[in-house]
Amino acid sequence: MADTEVLSSPHILEYPYSRSVGPVIGSFLAGLRDGKVLGVRCGSGAGERVVVPPTEYDPLTGEDSGEMVEVGPGGVVTSWAWESEPLQGAPLDKPFAWALVRLDGATTAMLHVVDAGSAGAMATGMRVLPRLVEPSARVGSILDLACFVPEGSDSPVRAQPAEPGNPAQPDDPAQPDDPAQPDDPAQPDDPAQPDDPVTTLSTPIRLDYRFSAGISQSRFLRGLVEGVFIGQRCPRCAKVYVPPRGSCPTDGVPTTEDVELSDTGTVTTFCVVNVPFQGQAIELPYVCAQVLLDGANISFMHLIQGIPADEVRMGLRVRAVWKPPAERGPSLESVLCFEPTGEPDAPYESYEEYL
């Protein structure tokens, strides 16, 4: 590992959001489940429009939108773009067209996909018909309408259910009120019955980021592999930051002088965590403490073990417990925890200014 290499790591944010949709979108989704597309009347007189998908409020005036009306089933492609390499999670797993389709009776076009086989079969102004998934597989989702197909093409109006993992499937909705039971389903997996209103929509979201540690923190992380804490001193105020951030937040200048710190320190303050939640990875209860390493001017959070939780105290002297060298990586996880050194507690005055 070169000394100047900047470390990076995947950073994935993923959650099955459960969205309440309100009465208008709820009617639209219930309509899809029942095999029809509903729009909503907005405006009046010469300004009357039928907006599809329906909106709760007139997009032009902000007034309440009016009654729901059925549109389609067929419509006209008003614009399109060919998707030759569908991404994971796309509505179809073969090349297709993203298209704006203005359904018969609608004033606005809605975004959906056309299964046309090839880009050559697509044209602005072409007529299309919907292909619905089987009634038993519909859940009240925009993908109950699997896609559109060119009018006159030899396609069934019914289609197979969408693939598992499809973003609109309510396969793993979270129970939002109770962090203790994140896996409890908020609604049954069975398809809803025709008379049930659609009130919520499960929307799993996953964001794939790449997290860069930066130059200074990378040096710190490589130090952890060797079993040392490397901080940096500010050239102006002489405060030592660990982990270093490359600059002093007070003076706004780069911190370039590396400082090797002791792996002993003082617990400045702490809490005992006893609350379960989704993604939580440490057995409860655990002591989460601010540890001020000897020679540093700022504390960081770590785990305290080797002492009953109710005996941990402010001022407790602790030492890092390192993983065996072969198991260490460039992560603060190379430090399993901090445990008491057995020294007398640090006097309050010695860490008071770090609270």
**Residue ranges in contact with Zn ion by CB under 5 A:** 234, 236-237, 248, 250-251
Q: Least distance (Å) from Zn ion to the CB of residue 255?
A: 8
Closer CB to other proteins, 215 or 332, in the complex = 332
**Per-position x/- string for 278-307, each x denoting binding to other proteins as judged by CB under 8 A, each - no binding:** xxxxx--x--xxx------xx--xxx----
Shorter beta-carbon distance to other proteins: residue 137 or 225: 225
CA dihedral 232→352→294→257, nearest 10 degrees, is 10
Cβ at position 181, least distance to other proteins in Å: 11
Q: Does 123 bind other proteins (CB under 8 A)?
A: no
Query: Which of positions 39-68 make contact with other proteins (CB under 8 A)?
Result: 55-63
Give the shortest CB-202-to-other proteins separation in angstroms. Answer: 10
Using an 8 Å Cβ cutoff, are 76 and 42 in contact?
no
Q: Which of 228, 295, 332, 345 binds other proteins (CB under 8 A)?
A: 332
Q: What CA–CA distances, in Å, run from 172 to 26, 186, 206, 354?
A: 20, 9, 14, 44
326 lies in the site for other proteins, by CB under 8 A: no
Does 74 bind other proteins (CB under 8 A)? Our answer is no
Q: Which of 211, 253, 260, 311 binds other proteins (CB under 8 A)?
A: 211
Interface mask toward other proteins for 149-188; x: CB under 8 A: -------------------------x-xx-x--x------
Strands of the chain, DSSP E: 8-20, 37-42, 49-51, 68-71, 75-83, 96-103, 110-114, 127-133, 145-150, 158-159, 200-212, 229-233, 240-241, 257-261, 264-273, 286-293, 300-304, 317-322, 335-340
Cβ(168)–Cβ(112) under 8 Å? no
**174, 18 Cβ separation under 8 angstroms:** yes
Total residues at interface with other proteins (CB under 8 A):
78
Give the span between the Cα atoms of 215 and 327, in whole angstroms. 23
Least CB distance from residue 240 to Zn ion, whole Å?
10
Considering only 99-107, 128-136, 203-211, 316-324, which stretch makes contact with other proteins by CB under 8 A? 203-211
Could you say which of Zn ion, other proteins, none residue 62 binds, taking C-beta under 5 to 8 angstroms by partner kind? other proteins
- Three-class SS of residue 23? helix
Structure tokens at 71: 């549109």
What does the DSSP assignment read for 32-94?
HHTT-EEEEEES-GGG-EEESS--SB-TTT-PBP--EEEE-SSEEEEEEEEESSPPTT-S-SS
117 binds other proteins (CB under 8 A): no
> Binding residue for other proteins (CB under 8 A) from 152, 347, 348, 350?
348
* Residue 327 main-chain phi, psi, to 5 deg: -100, 0
Site for other proteins in 134-153 (CB under 8 A): none
DSSP annotation of 307 reads S
Under rule CB under 8 A, residue 100 binds other proteins: no
Instruction: Provide the minimum distance between the beta carbon of 345 and Zn ion in the complex, in angstroms, as a whole number.
Output: 29
Partner in contact with 48, chosen from Zn ion, other proteins, none, beta carbon below 5 to 8 Å by kind: none
| Options 5, 226, 294, 352; binder of other proteins; rule CB under 8 A | 352
Is the bond leading into 53 cis (omega within 30 degrees of zero)? yes
Structure token pair of residue 314: 């402010």
